[in-house]
């Protein structure tokens, strides 16, 4: 792991995210501590322990209030107490409007350019502004507690307005933000009501550095600022924006995973036993195993994937019983109607395919509609002959990278949507357009028929690249860039007076 302390020195590091790294919940044996799943939490928690920073997040656990002090602060992790978790309290109506409302019914579909799901309500926007202001004050409070400099690193689309609010409270603070999902072009962003899209961009211009997954998303942001913020001077060539006597830098930093973690999980004795069980059950003889791992989300191209499999077995009956497809679809945002409807549609479509093509000893699609722990996922990835990532739009999609890291036997083929950030990074995948069903079917056939040596050559190349581009390299690159910007902003010390040597 890189030495991140070299970039921070005497600077207090404050991380801001919607999800907290530890939550306290009431369980059958009293209060329990849980770490929510997710690559960001698992990657940044060790870093926060080492640098003794502060993590500001929504306190979502059922016992969070009784385990924190009057200001919402608690030292984590339990028994080590190496950094501060500052919880922000939100009422249910605030969560519904700020998070489920504006963040996930308005921004999420717009950023993924799936405008048929876009929904805007004035209440959503008002609550979003109010919650963002509350988070800005929480960050400012934490900065006030430290001596010397402080840096705020804001995560994602939940907090587009925090940078501007925070800048107004602490003008000299270094603020940067990573936008994990795609950023839309101007013609899509303008679907927000008049004034809201400009306010959103002005909020983000409170940053010193705006970070995106890939260059195209960064350019979309620059185009939006150029079109909607009249007093901003955008320089596409240098990826900079002059705004209110400041310079905002814009750059792409593709996120990754902890390669060693997934590779190691795939190599354990438990994993090997699970792989043997999976292949005995689903891929015995000449049969192959296909897998996909997704949240049930309309951006992931799940119905398109099922339609492609249906067409494959309909038009090529010789491929029936040749492979089984394992769908791992974890529930997501089930309180939103679009997601509830999608989950129902997926279940019905899978049943229809299985009725049409299944036999007494072969089920074409095996659906697992529940959360699956990382250890089991690593075994599923390792056991697979093909893995399909068919997102309609995606900031990065880390499933593709997790699959590559767990492919220690180098037997698998990655089918990867062209509309993921990962497709611009990974060389060796079979690229697909999920909107082109005939091309999708052809790609599955190509993957199933790919010779062993070609599979190994492609997978080896992907694994070598991923091994040197981990989530720790991602974090190192961002902090190094921040350090450079801070150094450039810091006035040079005055030159020492010239002392005459004349008599």
Q: Which two structure tokens, joined as six digits, stand for 131?
A: 């919650």
Sign, Cα dihedral of 64, 67, 72, 78? negative
End-to-end C-alpha distance for the chain, whole angstroms: 58
pLDDT tens digit sequence for 150-164: 999 999 999 999 999
Pairing of strands 30-34, 23-27: antiparallel
Q: Give 105-132 pLDDT, tens digit per residue.
A: 999 999 999 999 999 999 999 999 999 9
pLDDT at 146: 85
Instruction: Please report, for the chain, the start and end positions of each structural domain, with discontinuous segments joined by +.
Output: 5-255+473-478, 262-464
Q: Would you tell me the crossing angle of helices 122-144 and 162-169 to the nearest 10 degrees? A: 40
What DSSP line would sit under 353-382, residue for residue? HHHHH-BTTB-SEEEE-S---HHHHHHHHH
**Cα–Cα separations (whole angstroms), residue 498 to 494, 495, 501, 502:** 12, 9, 9, 12
**Could you tell me what percentage of the chain is helix, strand and coil, using 3-state DSSP and rounding each to the nearest 5?**
45, 20, 35
Question: Tell me, what's the pLDDT at 302?
Answer: 96
d(CA 116, CA 290): 30
Q: Which positions ≥6 away from 27 have C-beta within 8 Å?
A: none
* Per-residue model confidence (pLDDT) at position 38: 67
Q: Which of 173, 205, 150 is nearest to 14 (CA)?
A: 150
pTM higher than 0.75, yes or no? yes
The C-alpha atoms of residue 313 and residue 204 are separated, in whole angstroms, by: 48
What distances in angstroms separate CA 56 from CA 20, 70, 172, 174, 503, one per listed residue? Answer: 8, 15, 20, 16, 62
295, 301, 358: which is closest to 325 by C-alpha? 358
The helix/strand/coil state of 55 is: strand
What confidence score (pLDDT) does residue 4 get?
A: 76
Alpha helices for 149-258 (secondary structure H): 162-169, 186-189, 196-204, 215-228
Helix (H) or strand (E) holding 74: strand 73-76
- Residue 41: per-residue pLDDT: 80
Q: What is the pLDDT of residue 126?
A: 97
- In the 3-class helix/strand/coil scheme, how is 147-167 assigned residue by residue? CCCEEEEEECHHHCCHHHHHH
- Which pair of tokens denotes residue 352? 């229809």
Q: Which CATH class is domain 262-464?
A: alpha beta
Rounded Cα distance, 41 and 138, in Å: 20
Strand partners, 288: 323
Residue 143 near residue 170 (C-beta atoms within 8 A): yes
Do the domains 5-255+473-478 and 262-464 sit in the same CATH topology, yes or no?
Answer: yes
CB 63 within 8 A of CB 17: no
Please report, for the chain, how many H helices and E strands are present, in that order.
19, 18
Q: Look-up: residue for tokens 């994937």?
A: 305
**CB of 58 closer than 8 Å to CB of 88:** yes
The three-state secondary structure class of 200 is helix
pLDDT score, position 194:
81
| CATH number of the 5-255+473-478 domain | 3.40.50.2000
Q: What is the pLDDT, as a whole number, of residue 1?
A: 63
User: CA-CA distance, 251 to 182, in Å (whole number)?
Assistant: 13
Which residues are CB-neighbours of 15 under 8 A, at least 6 positions away?
44, 48, 53, 54, 55, 56, 153, 155
In angstroms, the CA 26 to CA 62 distance is 6
C-alpha distances out from residue 108 to 95, 115, 178, 302, 478, Å? 15, 10, 15, 17, 24
Alpha-carbon gap, residue 88 to 106, rounded angstroms = 23
Q: What is the pLDDT along the chain (503 residues), one digit of tens a residue?
A: 677 778 887 889 999 999 999 999 998 888 999 887 766 787 788 889 988 999 999 999 999 999 999 999 999 998 899 999 999 999 999 999 999 999 999 999 999 999 999 999 999 999 999 999 999 999 999 999 988 899 999 999 999 999 999 999 999 999 999 999 999 999 999 999 989 999 999 999 999 999 999 999 999 999 999 999 999 999 999 999 999 999 999 999 999 999 999 999 999 999 999 999 999 999 988 999 999 999 999 999 999 999 999 999 999 999 999 999 999 998 888 778 888 999 999 999 999 999 999 999 999 999 998 888 889 999 999 999 999 999 999 999 999 999 999 999 999 999 999 999 999 999 999 999 999 999 999 999 999 999 999 999 999 999 999 999 999 999 999 999 999 999 888 766 666 666 665 54
Tens of pLDDT, residues 244-262: 999 999 999 999 999 999 9
In this prediction, residue 148 carries a pLDDT of 84
């Amino acid at each position: 792991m890189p030495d991140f302390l070299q970039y921070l020195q005497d600077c207090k590091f404050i991380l801001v995210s919607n999800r907290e790294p530890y939550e306290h919940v009431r369980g059958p044996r009293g209060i329990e501590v849980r770490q929510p799943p997710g690559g960001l939490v698992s990657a940044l928690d060790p870093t926060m322990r080492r640098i003794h920073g502060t993590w500001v997040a929504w306190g979502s656990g059922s016992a969070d209030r009784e385990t924190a002090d009057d200001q919402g602060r608690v030292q984590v992790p339990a028994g080590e107490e190496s950094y501060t978790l500052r919880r922000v309290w939100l009422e249910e109506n605030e969560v519904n409007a700020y998070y489920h409302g504006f963040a996930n019914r308005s921004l999420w579909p717009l950023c993924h350019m799936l405008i048929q799901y876009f929904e805007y309500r004035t209440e959503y926007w008002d609550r979003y502004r109010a919650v963002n202001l509350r988070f800005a004050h929480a960050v400012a409070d934490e900065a006030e507690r430290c001596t010397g400099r402080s840096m705020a690193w804001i995560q994602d689309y939940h907090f587009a307005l925090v940078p501007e609010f925070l800048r107004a409270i602490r003008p000299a603070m270094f603020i940067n933000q990573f936008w994990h999902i795609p950023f839309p072009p101007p013609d899509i962003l303008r679907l927000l009501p008049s004034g809201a899209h400009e306010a959103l961009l002005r909020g983000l211009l409170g940053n010193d550095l705006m970070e995106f997954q890939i260059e195209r998303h960064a350019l979309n942001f620059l185009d939006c600022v150029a079109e909607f913020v009249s007093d901003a001077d955008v320089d596409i060539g240098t990826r900079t924006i002059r705004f209110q006597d400041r310079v905002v830098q814009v750059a792409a930093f593709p996120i990754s995973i902890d390669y060693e973690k997934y590779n190691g999980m795939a190599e354990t004795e438990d994993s090997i036993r699970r792989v043997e069980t999976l292949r005995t059950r689903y891929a015995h003889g000449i049969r192959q195993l296909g897998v996909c791992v997704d949240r049930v989300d309309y951006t992931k191209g799940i119905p398109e994937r099922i339609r492609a499999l249906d067409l494959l077995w309909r038009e090529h009956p010789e491929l029936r019983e040749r492979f089984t497809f394992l769908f791992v679809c974890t529930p997501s945002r089930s309180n939103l109607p679009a997601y509830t409807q999608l989950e129902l549609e997926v279940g019905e479509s899978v049943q229809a395919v299985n009725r049409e093509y299944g036999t007494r000893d072969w089920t074409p699609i095996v659906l697992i509609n529940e959360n699956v722990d990382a250890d089991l996922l690593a075994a599923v990835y390792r056991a697979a002959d093909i893995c399909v990532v068919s997102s309609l739009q995606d900031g990065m999609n880390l499933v593709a990278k997790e699959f590559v890291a767990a492919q220690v036997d180098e037997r698998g083929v990655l089918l990867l949507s062209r509309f993921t950030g990962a497709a611009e990074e990974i060389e060796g995948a079979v690229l697909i357009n999920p909107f082109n069903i005939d091309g999708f079917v052809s790609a599955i056939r190509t993957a199933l028929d790919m010779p062993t040596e070609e599979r190994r050559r492609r997978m080896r190349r992907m694994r070598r690249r991923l091994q040197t581009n981990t989530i720790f390299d991602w974090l190192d690159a961002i902090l190094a860039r921040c350090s450079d910007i801070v150094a450039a902003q810091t006035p040079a010390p005055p030159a020492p007076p010239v002392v005459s040597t004349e008599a």
